[in-house]
Amino acid sequence: MSALATPARDAPTSAPCAFAELVPANVLAKDAFDAVAEASLQQPQPYFAAFMRNGAFHFNLPTRDPQRFPIWIAGKGRDTEPDATQLRLTAGSGTAKHAIRGKHVRFSLSPKTGYLVIRAYPPAATSLAVNGVPLNMEPYTLHENTARVRIGELEYLFRYTTFAQSKQFLEARNLFVSLQHPDSSKGLALTPTPAPTTRSIGEWTLQKELGKGASGAVYSATSPRDEVVAIKLIVRNQRSAASVKNEVQTLTAITEAAKAAACSHIVALRGSIYPNGLEE
């Protein structure tokens, strides 16, 4: 049996240069993947077969032209003629099979973070969710190492691969993004690929340590809305509580003054996060 046709129930093995993968996670998704893999063996080198390997869909950059193919499209595709649907989620031409449309979702690399962003094709908004949250028509930045993705009735585990942590991939990613958005990739050094050990605080995922001092460490952090901020982690105890409170009040006052003066050159305080949501 070829690598392409390996049943989805086997443990997926990433393609050598794949930086992310979408692994079928429920029975419907696994059966659909197997059916697509089997159907592809009946066609002469189908385009979508290049994105399937050992029971998972794969994302890679080495042979991809950022000008011609800036996005990855997932859906049912068409059996009668070639199309641009690279991730064929179901086989057969049945209407609304597994509630999957021809072009259901799209993935693209964010010019701000370099992470994959998933968003629904209209009118498929109600049939796409990440980590149990329906996306409607809002994009969602996959800023953690893993995520649960539901497309129609099919469930998948999304995850970044070990290769995505490498210098080789990060250089390729930054080049890919800069060719599409020449002025938008300067901050990518702040957003390395999320690792399995990446720490999250609320909706924010810590990405890279930017500096460390006597009062704490500062990290770049990202959110599902493709935001990049700096988060300072401070050890707050009985001895330091007063100084922490004073620092927050000072930064709040500076932020309010900058807003009143319409000054955009001062870093604004977005908020403070306390253990259990309690300031005291």
Residues in binding site: 232
**226 class by beta-carbon count within 10 Å (0-12 exposed, 13-18 middle, 19+ buried):** middle
Residue among 86, 92, 101 nearest 35 (CA) = 92
Rounded distance between C-alpha atoms, residue 161 and residue 19, angstroms: 5
Q: How far apart are CA 163 and CA 76, in angstroms?
A: 28
Residue with tokens 């942590």: 165
Q: Are strands 87-88 and 56-60 parallel, antiparallel or unpaired?
A: unpaired
- Report which secondary-structure segment, H or E, holds 151: strand 146-151
CA distance 23 to 160: 11
Which helix (H) or strand (E) segment holds residue 28: the answer is helix 27-40
Handedness of CA 88, 93, 96, 99 (dihedral sign): negative
Q: How far apart are CA 43 and CA 67, in angstroms?
A: 28
Residues belonging to the binding site for ATP are 232
Question: What's the rounded Cα separation, in Å, for the pair 275 and 138?
Answer: 29
* Residue pair 246/236 in contact by the 8 Å Cβ criterion: no
